[in-house]
Amino acid sequence: MSAETEPVKAIVTPTRLEYEFTAAGTHADFLARIAEGKLLGSRCSECGMVYVPARGSCPRCGVAIEERCDVSDKGTVTTYCVVRVPSENIDLKLPYVCAHILLDGANIPFFALIQECEAEDVRIGMRVEAVWAPKEEWGATFENIRYFRPSGEKDVPVEQLGDWV
């Protein structure tokens, strides 16, 4: 025992809980499809919105969604964030940019990392494309897509992005 006579001021309480997550329903459908190199969306029959990743119910209408459709792995930046603060579990060179990307065919943006350009070059309206991991490394995981990079296409004017900006 230490010779310390100071009264106890604090205790450390470790917590550990173990789970076996089951991805089921549309989550599983999305993962099965990304393992094939495709991004699966789902289309609400009532409002027509296409959600990606695919989800089993429409958050607007509160109804089940049956229809599935692939969406493109190319899209447009609708907003972005330049991160200059290091984070314990993130092994990226600072600054890095994460963005909301409205994939072609989808009605809600997809959250992803942008690389292969300077942070100050990222802008709303910028066209980007997914950079996939080598096919032999694919699994049922988001990690199949390493990041998005500028595609070189002409920017989409901000006015055309409508509600998504």
> Which stretches of the chain bind other proteins, using CB under 8 A?
1, 7-29, 31-32, 55-66, 68, 140
DSSP code, position 2: -
How far is residue 137's CA from residue 31's CA, in Å, rounded to a whole number? 14
Q: Are strands 127-132 and 74-83 parallel, antiparallel or unpaired?
A: antiparallel
- Long-range contacts of the stretch 43-49 (C-beta < 8 A, 24+): 43/67, 43/68, 43/69, 49/107, 49/108
Strands 67-71 and 96-103: unpaired
What count of other Cβ atoms lies within 10 Å of the Cβ of residue 5? 5
The DSSP bridge pattern shows strands 50-51 and 110-114 to be unpaired
Q: Are 156 and 78 in contact (CB under 8 A)?
A: no
| Token pair in block for residue 92 | 């990226």
Beta carbon of residue 33, minimum distance to other proteins (angstroms, whole number): 10
